[in-house]
Amino acid sequence: NSILGVLLTWTIVMTSCDAYCYVSPLRVSLGSQPEGCKDLQGVLRSLKTQWKNNACEICDCSYDGITCCSLVMTPIGYDENNCNAVFDPETCTHIAVQKENPLKPCEVPIYIG
């Protein structure tokens, strides 16, 4: 179990390293304590919380502001002549499928985020 935990942690860290991230600074009124962070949709998020938004990003609210990192994984190195990359919003991944038979997946050697 500990080896599996280490491998899972390493996979998450490596995926996070490839992902793009951005920070939106916390907006605070002078002399007041922050209540939380307002996300791009205007929803007030509590401090020290994390959520997945509609753009396939994982975001967290801290005293620094909102940090969001992309979860989207894109295939590279697949046969682009015979396959298309199709976006799956549930998994935040592009999957490569055959052009002639879109129900059949193509072999993908690597995904980048």
Q: Where in the chain is the domain with CATH 2.20.25.590?
A: 74-112
For the segment 22-37, what is each residue's pLDDT rounded down to a tens digit?
Answer: 999 988 777 788 889 9
DSSP 8-state assignment for residue 82 = T
Helix (H), strand (E) counts: the chain:
1, 10
Task: State the residue for tokens 């490569």.
Answer: 96
For the segment 55-68, what is each residue's pLDDT rounded down to a tens digit?
Answer: 999 999 999 999 99
Residue 57's Cβ-side half-sphere holds a number of Cα atoms within 13 Å equal to 15
For the segment 82-102, what is each residue's pLDDT rounded down to a tens digit?
Answer: 999 999 888 888 999 999 999
Q: Where in the chain is the domain with CATH 2.10.70.10?
A: 20-70
Average pLDDT value over all residues in the chain: 84
Fold of the domain built from segment(s) 20-70: Complement Module; domain 1 (2.10.70)
DSSP 8-state assignment for residue 33 = -
Fold of the domain built from segment(s) 74-112: N-terminal domain of TfIIb (2.20.25)
